[in-house]
Amino acid sequence: MNNHSFGCDFGSYHLKIYHRDVDAYLIQHNMVAVQDKKGLLAFGDEAYAMYEKAPSNIQVTSPMSYGNLASISNMQAFLRNLLEKNIKGQLKGAEYFVALPTEMQERIFTTLIQDSNMKPKNVYLVDKPVAAGLGLGINVKEAQGVMLVDIGAETTEISVLSLGGIVISRLIQNGGRSIDDAIQSAIRKEYNFFIGSKTAETIKKELAYAVEPEQDTMQICGRNMVIGLPQMMEITSEFVYEAIKEQLGIIMDAVKTILERTPPELGVDIIRNGIYLTGGSAKIHKLDQLLEQKSGIKVSVDDEPELSVARGLARVMGEREFRSLAFVTKEQKYE
């Protein structure tokens, strides 16, 4: 009997899959490479290695865009090929638990998996903030206010949870990539120096500080736009700090807006329990300190914030008390 069960977090930057049968996580860059607008040439980390390096007949893109599916067919091909490559046995009859982002229509992810020729047994949905809370070790079913700030690659999702549901939430289109763009733009404007998005991402990981930057530097490679030739140059953490302040400010303002709209009794819980910071871009140096300064509330960050949603899905799949947090679409109910 086939008992494959998968928990899927379709992020714009990474696709995270929890495989219950072996209690392991599969993580790949959420990218595909399509040659001549036809067949799938590469996917995952292999496709990401081609990004910004491929010839014009090879399109390297992400099937996800700002929390939404940009290409259902590419996402289906990616998911199917990834599972077939890494999972032993047939996929037919497997169960899927999918993290549903705020403002995403329920049936989209269900259709994505049901129409992918994998013939699933069931497709369950779990609200993404709820899954993230579970992955952080919080019992989200209790009658207490829990505030999560999930900073992903392209979006930031701010949510207040209670009794297993979302009381109030907001999704803004600012995240890790908008911070990368700010770094690229500042370097181009200040130094007439052009860098790629991968280099900007590396700078963010190494030199980005939300408050009180340390005196760090790194050598980067790019193109001198005055002479048109590739060159090396040195960039400082202080410069990066100034470049990203505006983007971080937008996120902080959105958090304060949600706090202002939170019902008073839940606000008391949030002050007592603190704010939970998660998502891959939560790794920016001292970001928790900035959020504490702006909100006046203590902030907790997980050691692996990018995996919180996938870990939460694992708990829904494996712990009976949280199974009720998974639901199916109306269309599935009446099939």
User: Does this chain's domain 5-131+309-333 share its CATH topology with 139-301?
Assistant: yes
Those residues with Cβ within 8 angstroms of residue 37's Cβ, 6 or more apart along the chain or in another chain: 59
Residues 166, 160: contact at Cβ < 8 Å?
yes
Superfamily designation of domain 139-301: ATPase, nucleotide binding domain (3.30.420.40)
C-alpha triplet 7, 109, 150: angle, nearest 5°: 65
**pLDDT per residue over 273-309, tens digit each?**
999 999 999 999 999 999 999 999 999 999 999 999 9
Q: In the predicted model, what is the mean pLDDT of residues 7-34?
A: 95
Contact between 81 and 42 under an 8 Å Cβ cutoff? The reply is no
* Long-range Cβ pairs for the range 232-237 (8 Å, 24+): 233/191, 233/193, 235/187, 235/203, 235/207, 236/207, 237/207, 237/208, 237/209, 237/213
The whole-chain average pLDDT of the chain stands at 93
Give the model confidence (pLDDT) of 149-179 as tens digits: 999 999 999 999 999 999 999 999 999 999 9
Using CA atoms, how far residue 95 sits from 86, 142, 330, in Å, is: 16, 27, 17
With b meaning 16 or more CB within 10 Å and e meaning fewer, what string describes 179-195? bbebbbebbeeebebeb
pLDDT 10s digits, 240-258: 999 999 999 999 999 999 9
Residue 51 exposure: Cα atoms within 13 Å on the Cβ side: 18
* Cβ–Cβ under 8 Å, residues 44 and 78: yes
Domain ranges of the chain: 5-131+309-333, 139-301
CATH of domain 5-131+309-333: 3.30.420.40
The pLDDT, as a whole number, for residue 333 is 54
